[in-house]
Structure 1
Amino acid sequence: MINRIKQKPELKGNLTLVWNAHLPFIRHQDQDDCLEECWFYEAMTETYLPLLEVMNHLHDDQIDFRLTFAMTPTLISLFSDPLMQERYRVYLQKQIQLAAAEQLRLANATALLPLARRCSERFRELQMMYESCQGDVVAAFKVFQDLGLIEIVTSAATHGYLPLMKTEEAIRAQIMTAVRTYEGHFGRKPRGFWLPECGYTPGIDRILKQAGVDYFFTDSSAVAFAAPQPNRELMAPLLTPYGVTAFPCDPESVSQVWSAKHAEDFLANRHKQAQHWLHWLDRKPIIVSSFDAELFGHCWYEGPAFLEQLCRKIHLDQHAIKMITPSEYLDEYPIADVGKLNESSWGRNHSAEMWLQGHNDWIYRHLHQAEERMIRLATKHEHLARHGKLSAQVLKRTLNQAARELMLAQSSDWAFIMDSQTDVDYAVRRTKDHLGNFHHLCDQIDRELVEEDHLTALEERNPIFADIRYQDYISIHKLSPIPIIPSLADWETLLAETSHRTNVFMLAWEYPPKQVGGLSRAVHELSEALAARGEIIHVITTSVQGAPAFEMMNGVYVHRLPIDHSGNTHFYHWAFEMNLAMIDHLVRWRENGGRIDLLHAHDWMVFHTAREIKASYGIPLIATIHATEWGRNQGNLYADLQNKIHQLEWKLTYEASRVFVCSAYMKEEVERIFHLPPDKVSVHPNGIETQVSLAPVHRPVIAGQQDKVIFYIGRLVYEKGIQILIAAMPAILSHVPQAKLVIAGSGPMEAELRANSAHLGDRVAFAGFVSDDYRTQLYQAAEVCVIPSLYEPFGIVALEAIAHKRPLILSDTGGLAEIIRHGVDGFKALPGHVDSLAWHVSEMLLQPQLALQMADSAYQLLQQHYQWAHIAEQIQDEYRRLTHGQLAIEAIAKH
């Protein structure tokens, strides 16, 4: 007789259940019977305590579950407020007394008496539960997060609708205040963020990234209409250009939660949904079902019971559908498609319509004026010096309370209530009261006379955000974009900051967050290293969606210019349009009194700007040649475009007073092909920060525990030589069967490389675009890093591998060959030679101790020769030699 063992079903997909837990700040200091406070009591009674009860039941029965709660700072403040806690106790006691009175009244009503008894029992159960956590509901939720059963994310401080805020400073203040509130209650930074009303507009992701947020939730339309269209549609998150993950809410699952069959029917539909997508996705689909928390219990009494049944059924289902938190999903699938999200919300018509229409549009001109006034005051009092009769302490308290009042006025709830025409008078009154308080405080600061009794009363009336920082509103740029100059004061501020010393202008077509190749990173890190040494550095570059037109970024003044062009403009012609924009911008800067003491141009794309500004104003010019068209094509310049680029490179080196290159190999190349005198060309290598975390991290799924990982990261183009490494894999596998090649990056050769490696099965894996965190995981999993380039002026990726202390094999070509010593710091293989590369990789894998010794030796070289601070010092000396001579000429001319 054959024993039939029931097979565990295949995992079909992941389910993330998200509750948007929010209430506006409806605390009223002087009223204990305010109607709006009942919203809080009802939500506590019907939603939040029952949800805690469900989790207690599941945990007691050892049911594994995963839930995600988006708790807004205003709700957390209500939960934690001693006054609200005491008032809720009174509310519960009143309900218990009312239930007892009802039992007496219905003593002879046999049909209704059991209901009255059940109500009495229920209120007493809730009272016991509330007292069991001593009224600290936040701490009760924290227990489940610490157990790993739930994940709690934050939202904007007062649930302000971020896309309708006028200034980046106001958005930043809402986000940073929320992050600090979360940290204070949960003892960790939030990984996730709930956008109020799922309202997204480009640029919010950049601010979230700056705040340390890894992911956020969006309306389905944000991802469905992203550009480019996401390959995995709504069944996987999308990575924004700023490296923050967007999880789209799934409309299908949300619409089915009201099914009469409840949990069983809901789960059956998720099975069907996951099964449909599983057949053609490269990973298990994730279904993000998001709900307003008060749907469960307050609006739908059976909601908590539905949730408990669902968790139990999924547990019994042997995880054919797996409940998962967003952080767990990102740990399992760190790779995602990258796209620009569509502006959207989960409101009416997926737009801002609910918060901007005839009943509520009047509020925004007042809110926007308040934002701008707050920014002016915060910037003026950045250093909290004594202000007339005001002490620094009183000034700080007043500025912080003004920030509180502004944020409370920005709550999206007031505009929502006005739109829905429910409690309109209350919403209007709250908006006007907070704005009135805000301007009253600002007026007192301007008059240098604060009524401290009034200030104290406001602090007691709205005791929210104890760690609020008015400094969040300090202007992100001392000058708004040129030529758009909003105020003379802003213009004068920047001129005052930059007029006393040499101003160096870097010209580069790409700069973070725009990052196409290595030029962006090199210019970025050099600029910041020079700024750290006291140089005034401006970067003139091109605009990118979501990034400000002007900002001070880690000490560097970054000017991002929009470029006029049609959608099908060729890059060569687009570059010409870019130069016209750069020239206009610099001329306007100079004519308005700005200094330009030195130009530093990066590659041929900015030649026209460099030559025009140099000739017009007699400004010294330095050119950095990162790579040459001649080198990229091994001297074969057959196409007309190749010859045009080659000519622009030559002209740039001719016009420059000095030419910088990154290696001795490049110095020889540019001297030869451009006929440059040797004393005109200097070698300044690229650098890298060695503050790389070497602490162990989670081993990526793509690298099995038994795999000996060979890691390549870079663009998938011919000159990078990845095709040589793939061709070497059969020979490597014959010596080391556990070898596995992991390829990170993308490019035009990807399809061809995948086809060429198909016969190697799972011994070659393509990771695609990888985030910084995932790149670190791959480096740490690697036994050896390989750079098989056919042409490489330098190779910053080699320094990256060395910084992670990974053994390194590279091609004996170009600037790569200069980085390490063969057999001492790593191996150099013959460029383009399959057998040579196969032998060196096999040798490294077979001798792990030798490999680690070479990695340590290479790390010492890195410390000595490739630190940006040291490189910046050398470049600064070159700047001085050029600008001092120019300043002397100007001084003579003045006399």
Structure 2
Amino acid sequence: MRAMAARVMAPLLFFSDSLSLGGAEEVLVNLVLQADRMRWQPRVAMPRYPAMRPVVARLLSAGVDVDEFPPSDGLPWSLRIQAFRSYLRRVRPALVYVNRPRLPDRSTAVVLAARLAGLPIVLHDHWTVPRDWAERDGAVRTGRDGASRRRALSGVRNLFTYRLPVAAARWIIFPAEATRRISITQFRYPRARTRVVPNGIDVDGVARAAADRTGARRALGLDPGVPVVLCAARLAREKGHHFLLHAIAEVARTIPGMQLLLAGDGSLRPELEAIAATLALGDRVAFLGWRDDVPRLMAACDLLVLPSLSECLPLVCLEAMAAGRPVVASAVGGIPEVVVEGVTGRLVAPGDTGGLAAAITDLLRDPDLARAMGQAGRARVAERFSLARMRDEIYALLER
């Protein structure tokens, strides 16, 4: 890409096949909006999904061209590839960047069309690491689970999902070393063409949004002195909310008046509301629904909890640290690469209700410790997980 670096306004196509809003989509938007317009002309292509309307509106308001396609589910692969080849001939990008929030996804046709067109391709893989994959990863690396590896690499579905896109890509970017390592050991990603670029956020912007604790609590109807725990995540089974609710029932027995705020929405909401009722949590738990002001919610809370069963490198942990809040989270995926046990927060085993309850209780009972962890987290995220650092590292790869 050295020749491209000398060009002005090189057309750069970003593709995303996201079905819902999350961290991977926020990373995509930030990368597009942070492009140097003296060097790059960013353009975004994505299927037309209702949940992605806020992303489209945000990009259009910033002057970014966005092309939406009808979802291609059910179409033969040949027709999908042909349609994207025609599109690529029309927009003539210099490079195709593919944001892959999960695997398997439907971006393979785009990758193959770009490869047939002779275009350089960069994959950005945000898929999450389930709690049992760390164990399987260790088995594969030591040669004890050859059958698991063969299953992972066999079949037409895995050929299209993993092997062909990876073979076509110039670079494959991972937000966390955990996902990079498993991709190499289990799915034979070529080590030399993989890079870890941690997710980044606007640290100062989050800190400013989280500064008004009194106003944030007033807006939520919370008393100034009430201990408040925040969990901001999709209401999906892999996020571990059911374990959190049982943990909060334990915490509530020893911390009078404490409150849990659940920011997020999803198909699991009725089930979680029923669990909260069964545990007699009553008004101790507030289901806030989907929110676009999570940093402001950070201002109202004393700590963030993320009890996920699978993760990559969650932005919400970075936002909590930027807001000066300690984090209690599952030791899964890339979370231990962000949260330092005993320094910026507490790590517990996925699904460990007792561990969650103990970690939350300890921090609510010791405000000085929580404050010190929050300050350490703020320093760590500013040093290692800034938006500027992520932008510079990724765009440097695009130009190589």
Q: Which TM-score band applies after superposition, normalised by the shorter structure?
A: 0.7 to 0.9
Number of residue pairs the alignment of both structures matches: 364
Report the residue type matching 1:502 in the other structure.
A
Q: How does 1:790-801 map to 2 (within 5 A)?
A: 790-801=309-320
SS in 1 for 2:34: helix
Determine the structure 2 residue equivalent to 1:827: 346
Q: CA RMSD in A?
A: 3.3
- Corresponding residue of 1:597: 94
Where do residues 381-420 of structure 1 align in structure 2 (5 Å cutoff)? none
Distance (whole Å) between structure 1 residues aligned to residue 221 and residue 81 of structure 2: 44
Q: Residue type matched to 2:198 in 1?
A: P
Distance in 1 (CA, whole Å) between partners of 2:286 and 2:54 is: 34
Q: 1:547 to 1:580 in 2, by over 3 A?
A: farther
Superposed CA offset, 1:322-350 (max 9, x none): xxxxxxxxxxxxxxxxxxxxxxxxxxxxx
Q: Which amino acid aligns with 1:612?
A: A
Equivalent residue for 1:539, pick from 34, 37, 44: 44
Residue equivalent to 2:26: 521
Residue 880 in structure 1 maps to residue 399 in structure 2:
yes
Shift of residue 810 of structure 1?
1.1
Partner residue, 1:707: 226
Counterpart of 1:751 in structure 2 is 270
For residue 558 of structure 1, the aligned residue among 57, 60, 65 is: 65
Counterpart Cα distance in 2 of 1:548 and 1:827:
33
1:768 to 2:272 alignment? no
Q: Distance in 2 between matches of 1:811 and 1:549?
A: 32
Q: More relative contact order in 1 or in 2 (CA 8 Å, sep 6+)?
A: 2
What is aligned with 1:846?
A: 365
2:174 pairs with 661, 683, 686, which one?
Answer: 661
Amino acid at match of 2:330: S
Letter in 2 for 1:589: V
Instruction: Report the Cα distance in structure 2 between the residues aligned to 1:739 and 1:548, rounded to whole angstroms.
Output: 35
Structure 2 CA distance for aligned equivalents of residues 740 and 551 of structure 1: 33
Pick closer, same or farther for the CA change 1:796–1:835 going to 2, 3 Å. Answer: same
Query: 2:108 maps to what in 1?
Result: 607
DSSP-derived class of the 1:737 partner: coil
CA apart distance, 1:548: 12
Query: What is the CA–CA distance in structure 1 between the aligned matches of 2:392 and 2:120, rounded to whole Å?
Result: 19
CA distance in structure 2 between the partners assigned to 1:849 and 1:857 by the alignment: 12
Distance 1:756 1:548 in 2: 33
How far 1:515 sits from its partner (Å)?
4.9
TM-superposed CA distance for 1:620, in Å, is 1.5
The amino acid of 2:284's aligned partner reads R
Aligned to 1:864: 383
1:679 to 184, 189, 192: 192
Measure the CA separation in 1 of the matches of 2:379 and 2:179. Answer: 24
User: Please, what TM-score do these two structures have when normalized by structure 2?
Assistant: 0.81
Structure 2 counterpart SS, 1:605 = coil
Deviation at residue 709 of structure 1 after TM alignment = 0.9
- Partners of 1:663 and 1:724 lie apart in 2 by 25
CA distance in 2, matches of 1:505, 1:853: 43
Aligned to 1:295: none
Deviations, residues 303-332 of structure 1 (Å, cap 9, x unaligned): xxxxxxxxxxxxxxxxxxxxxxxxxxxxxx
CA 1:807–1:547 in structure 2 vs 1: closer, same or farther (change >3 Å)? closer
Structure 1 residue 847, shift from structure 2 partner: 0.6
Q: Could you say which residue in structure 2 is the equivalent of 1:29?
A: none
Deviations 1:463-500 (A, max 9, x none): xxxxxxxxxxxxxxxxxxxxxxxxxxxxxxxxxxx984
Amino acid at match of 1:770: R
SS at match of 2:220: coil
Please report how far the alpha carbon of residue 722 of structure 1 lies from its aligned counterpart in structure 2 after TM superposition: 1.2
What are the equivalent positions in structure 2 for 1:33-44 lying under 5 Å apart?
Answer: none
Equivalent positions of 1:221-370 (< 5 A) are: none
* Contact preservation (8 Å) 1:507, 1:539: yes
State whether structure 2 residue 132 is matched by structure 1 residue 619.
no
1:551 Cα shift?
Answer: 10
The amino acid that maps onto 1:669 is: I
Q: 1:613 to 1:556 in 2, by over 3 A?
A: farther
CA contact (8 A) 2:126 2:175 kept: yes
Paired amino acid for 1:767? L
> What is the 5 A alignment of 1:162-241?
none
One-letter amino acid of the structure 2 residue matched with residue 748 of structure 1: S
Q: Give the aligned partner of residue 649 of structure 1.
A: 161
User: What is the letter of the counterpart of residue 685 of structure 1?
Assistant: P
1:220-266 per-residue CA deviation (whole Å, 9 max, x = no partner) reads xxxxxxxxxxxxxxxxxxxxxxxxxxxxxxxxxxxxxxxxxxxxxxx
Distance change (3 Å), C-alpha of 1:666 and 1:532: farther
Q: Deviations over 1:663-702 (max 9, x none)?
A: 0101111112211232221001111112122442242335
Partners of 1:632 and 1:559 lie apart in 2 by 36
Greater radius of gyration (CA): 1
The answer as to whether partners of 2:239 and 2:307 remain within 8 angstroms in 1 is yes
Q: Does the CA-based 8 Å contact 1:508-1:541 persist in structure 2? A: yes
The amino acid across from 2:285 in the alignment is V
The AA in structure 1 aligned to 2:247 is A
- CA deviation vs aligned residue, 1:257-311 (integer Å, no higher than 9, x gap): xxxxxxxxxxxxxxxxxxxxxxxxxxxxxxxxxxxxxxxxxxxxxxxxxxxxxxx
2:80 aligned with 1:585: no
- The match for 1:317 is none
Q: Deviations over 1:82-131 (max 9, x none)?
A: xxxxxxxxxxxxxxxxxxxxxxxxxxxxxxxxxxxxxxxxxxxxxxxxxx
Residue 870 of structure 1 deviates from its aligned partner by 1.5
Q: CA deviation at 1:648?
A: 3.1
- Aligned counterpart for 1:803 among listed residues 306, 318, 322: 322
| Percent pairwise identity | 23
2-structure distance, mates of 1:712, 1:600: 31
